[in-house]
Structure 1
């Protein structure tokens, strides 16, 4: 009887340890910052991220509700001017301008230093071989 009890305790402990493999708040903030940097070349800084709730969707998939603040590092006009002044493909420049325009629709004519709070957003993550990845 003690052997069976010991095996049961080990299995329960292993199961609980497997369930605790979730991304930390700092990892979530890092992933979100990387996503903004890829989309907007250093325009936005993410901070004060709070994990509100999280759940496993499927094996290796995790969803998490977060709130966070964003701060604009430059104004809308300066950012668009920087993007159009860069050498390169006109279509890529146009795509950057459209992406910035979507931010302007969402946040207005933002200036450098303007801050906004995102009160709730659900992020989808994948636990890959090299760690957590934010899915688009």
Structure 2
């Protein structure tokens, strides 16, 4: 009975905490900020945090590592246009993704790392803290 009670009590206390855990913030930032096939998050550091009404604001620095060269990303999109391997919608989405990545990060090489900062807003639900979508 004790073996079951202790984990349940811990889970209940975590859900009722007054702020999201550092581990939850790290997991959330890692999954929310990655762009599969372009870059992934390699390091997350919570620098500060505060309550803003019912919202918890986490000031976070995170490091991304590029998985491809910016030129290779563009070349892959152009090859898809030429050989018709991607449908029209897929090509348009790919083009928008490329444009957004190039505007945000400029030219980059595979393995390049970049440190970014951002504020992430969390709200509390019955099941714990969730990232507020913008």
Q: Does 1:122 align with 2:119?
A: yes
For 1:29-108, list aligned pairs within 5 A: 29-37=26-34, 40-59=35-54, 61-80=55-74, 81=76, 85=80, 89-108=87-106
Partner Cα distance (1:97, 1:121) in 2: 25
Describe the SS at the equivalent of 2:108. Answer: coil
Kindly name which structure, 1 or 2, has the bigger radius of gyration based on alpha carbons. 1
Q: CA deviation at 1:87?
A: 5.8
Partner Cα distance (1:63, 1:53) in 2: 8
Partner Cα distance (2:26, 2:19) in 1: 14
Q: CA deviation at 1:54?
A: 1.0
**How many pairs does the alignment contain?**
114
Native 8 Å contact 2:77 2:95 kept in 1: no
Unaligned runs of 5+ in 2: 1-15
TM-score normalised per structure 2: 0.66
Q: Does 1:28 align with 2:25?
A: yes
Q: Deviations over 1:29-79 (max 9, x none)?
A: 221222234xx32422213211111112233x2111111111111122333
